[in-house]
Amino acid sequence: MAGGKETSRQKMIGMMYLVLTALLALNVTKEVVNAFVTINDKLDGSATIINNKIQEDYSSFDLKRMSIEAKKGDISFFQIWQDKSKIVESKTNNLINYLLTECNEMIKTAEGEDWIIRPEGKKSNDQVTLKPLKDILIKDNYDVPTQLFIGSDPLNPKERGRLIRDKIHNYRDTIASIMANYSENGKQYRFDPPKNYTDLSKSLQSSNPIDTAKIAHFYRSLTIPDKLYDVGEEREMPWVSATFNHAPLVAAAAMFTSLKVDVKNGEALAVEYLLNKIKEPIYVINKIEPMAVAPSGYINQGDSMDLKVLIAAYDSNQVYTLKWGMDEDTLPENWQTASGKINLSGAAPGIHRVKGAIGVKERNQTIWKPWSFDYTVGQPMGVISQPNLRLLYRGYENEIEAAASGFSQDKISISASSGCQIIKRNGKFFVKVGAGIRQATISVKGEKKDGSIVTIATNSFDVRPLPRPEIFLGGISNGQRPGCSSVGVQNRIVLKYDPGVPIAGVVFDIIDGKVEVEGMYRKGKVLNGGRLDEDALQILRQSCGKRVTITCKYKDPSRVTKNASPLVFNVR
């Protein structure tokens, strides 16, 4: 078109080429701009998926709290980490609200319409959302992002644009410090954010070595470079200029969504880290039902019954494995296995005890939780049953359950053979057997309306010494693998029976004992009453990776001095 004189036909053809080229350019621009809408929608979908996982982790804190409280455990350590998670949630919401508010201001300047969705009842700290980008009319506006965040000099962008990167870095530094700053086993761990990214390794030296990889990963995930190479300008530019300068409106909005995804990813890393600091299993619950519970399934005429109505929460998709035995077969070696439910026989009259354990998944391992259940089979005659394996323990107040059909509870009494003491307290009967007795006979008697006493039933019981109790260091029992921190804070031992032993309320007087840690010459002492001396406390604080053995002597209710079953465990 530039050389020689053109005919009218040539001029027309040249003009058609110009128009066609312009139309092609417009189509390409429209396709590219619409592609940013698609990219933004996919980024927003990823943010939703990440947020769902984060909300599950926040909910898991409450499930772990329920587990600790159910075991009557110490909630203080848990509370430290849950409080940290709440700060992370609040800081994250504030930062995302800032990013989306800036994005909204940009769109509002171009469109003349507020693009933020504010749901009814929104709390001040809830995350806001934006309307779909596909509804923006001026998607290819290049001027507003530049004017708002860059200004006339891309090498010296506006403070508003520089603040985007600064806000994300301030969030990064704050959350990293929340993750890393805590005390454990008497030692204070810290993380002071570096002024320069290249000094990150130096700042991590004061953190707990087991945390540094996760803290560094979180820190790097939210680190934005100071400058980027701008292809259009063919030189390095400040990050905000390389990102927003002459960017179409929807491209700039998609960048804000990308930053939101980066922040949500960082939140997910932080919350998962904090949650894993609490070594408590989570129980899956998907069903809640009312449940009526009574101490017995049988009462005599004229008596009353206390019925408790509770809420039971459980996983209905899980079929639990049961181990159980009844009456004489309640010893663990005699247990049988069942799934889900047990059929209890009513062939034999009297009070029956069913004992067993249920297998519950904790940290991908099956943990057996003990349980017991008593029920009564009645007939028109008196029966006697002893709930603890039909045995009496010497020197111990053995509870005896007696029932006599047709007699009210205040008309029932029991008697025992020589060497046995009968105690009635709070409507219950107890038998205390003296030294040297190997077998005892107990009878249940009823008082008729005319005042006469009749013997309704008589049973014989074997008498044995109380089994040896086990030593517990705080909540640490034999064979466990506790962490250094939980071992180092303990200062006394207690003697009690494992939950599988059907004896309750026995008090043992600790006389003395010793504490030994593998590879350490120094030994610690257990003082009268179970307290640990200073040597014992010191070597326990240094027991990481070693085996600990604790022994002690005690007196049981028979006042005979005995040796307790030793406590042996390996410290992680």
The residue among 260, 285, 248, 263 whose CA lies nearest residue 60 is 285
pLDDT at 21: 43
Over residues 92-102, the pLDDT tens digits come to: 999 999 999 99
Interatomic CA distance for residues 34 and 249, integer angstroms = 11
What CA–CA distances, in Å, run from 238 to 86, 278, 350? Answer: 34, 42, 86
Specify the fold of 320-464: Immunoglobulin-like (2.60.40)
What CA–CA distances, in Å, run from 323 to 362, 363, 367, 482, 528? Answer: 18, 21, 12, 27, 39
- Is the pTM higher than 0.85? The answer reads no
Q: Specify whether the CB–CB gap between 404 and 390 falls below 8 A.
A: no
> Which range in 316-325, 331-340, 355-364, 474-483 is most confidently predicted, on average pLDDT?
474-483
Q: 251 Cβ partners below 8 Å, 6+ apart?
A: 33, 36
Interatomic CA distance for residues 325 and 333, integer angstroms = 9
Over residues 11-41, the pLDDT tens digits come to: 565 555 554 444 444 444 667 778 888 888 8
Interatomic CA distance for residues 436 and 419, integer angstroms = 9
pLDDT at 315: 60
Residue 524 — φ and ψ, nearest 5°?
-105, 165
pLDDT at 28: 40
CA quadruple 312, 316, 321, 324: dihedral sign? positive
The residue among 59, 243, 247 whose CA lies nearest residue 139 is 247
Interatomic CA distance for residues 208 and 20, integer angstroms = 65
Q: 316 Cβ partners below 8 Å, 6+ apart?
A: 286, 287
Over residues 486-496, the pLDDT tens digits come to: 999 999 999 99
What average pLDDT does the structure give for the chain? 83
pLDDT at 80: 92
The residue among 497, 537, 536 whose CA lies nearest residue 514 is 536
**When comparing pLDDT for 76 and 67, which is higher?**
76
Q: Specify whether the CB–CB gap between 51 and 264 falls below 8 A.
A: yes
